[in-house]
Amino acid sequence: MAIFVNENTKVIVQGLTGGQGRFHGLRNRAYGTQVVGGVTPGKSGQDVEGIPVFDSVKDAVSATGADASFIAVPPKAASAAILEAAAAGVRFVVCITEGIPAQDEARVYNTLVRDYPNTRLLGPNCPGIISPGKCNIGITAGEIAELPSAKGPNVGIVSRSGTLTYQALYELKQKGIGVSTCVGIGGDPVPGTNFIDCLREFQADPETHAIIMIGEIGGSAEEEAAEFIKANVTKPMSAYIAGVTAPAGKKMGHAGAIVSGGKGTAQGKMDALRAAGVRVGLNPTEAGELMAEIVKGL
């Protein structure tokens, strides 16, 4: 098994005819993902290397049976694209777009919760999701992900940082440790899917035997995750929190990565996770080494 996406997931790419949508959409297809269509208003009837293009998500879903969407459009069009996918009944939406205003993200998130509870949004400003050997939606390089084994143990990964998502995958690949699913939730202030959502799914997934969590400074998501772990997660975990040396009040890369009012510090997050029984590394490699130790004991 895997979480959120698998070999049966059918994907459309909103923005397939654009440079980024084309590049990553074709890479996803080359990995083995069922990329069944694209959406660009006004370009119905065209195709991108055999992938048919439709004017609307509704038309694409009707023609292909797609149940997931990969959104690769500019910030000004992203909010409408997300809601269009939800209105068409798409159950899983991955949006890699960065630079969407936080108030727009909040509006879209609350609209999804209120009007489209059956649609899950991953992102915005995220690398996407990969269930190795089954499905890759987004910008993650499939070759750095170790396939899960039938006997296991396999590890689930959830990360706020895109780059550290890739490093976590590669740290495990170098050690020959299989990955069930790797989810990059993104670092914006209002993510569609959060740590707790992923931890809940990993806890329920029989193919996931341990979990790596990659967090960073800013906000309270990691502390909230620690409380959830303490009460609900029985699978062993390792973690890394980025931003130990970040100065207070300065945004570090992600819109949500800012320490303010003494809250959101790396140390506070590490302390909370350790108190929940998570083994916390001081750098990404150490988090991978801790996971290797955990896997040996399973």
Task: Report in angstroms the alpha-carbon separations of 147 from 117, 133, 144, 169.
Answer: 31, 6, 10, 11
The Cα 54–Cα 85 span in angstroms is 13
191's tokens: 């993510």
Catalytic-role residue among 254, 280, 287, 291? 254
Q: Who's near 196: CB < 8 A, 6+ residues apart?
A: 224, 225, 228
Give the rounded distance of the alpha carbon of 127 from its chain centre: 6
Nearest to 199 by CA among 178, 217, 214, 220: 214
Task: Establish whether 24 is a catalytic residue.
Answer: no
- What's phi and psi for 151, nearest 5 deg? -90, -20
Contact 69, 92 (CB under 8 A): yes
- Catalytically active residues, by annotation: 254
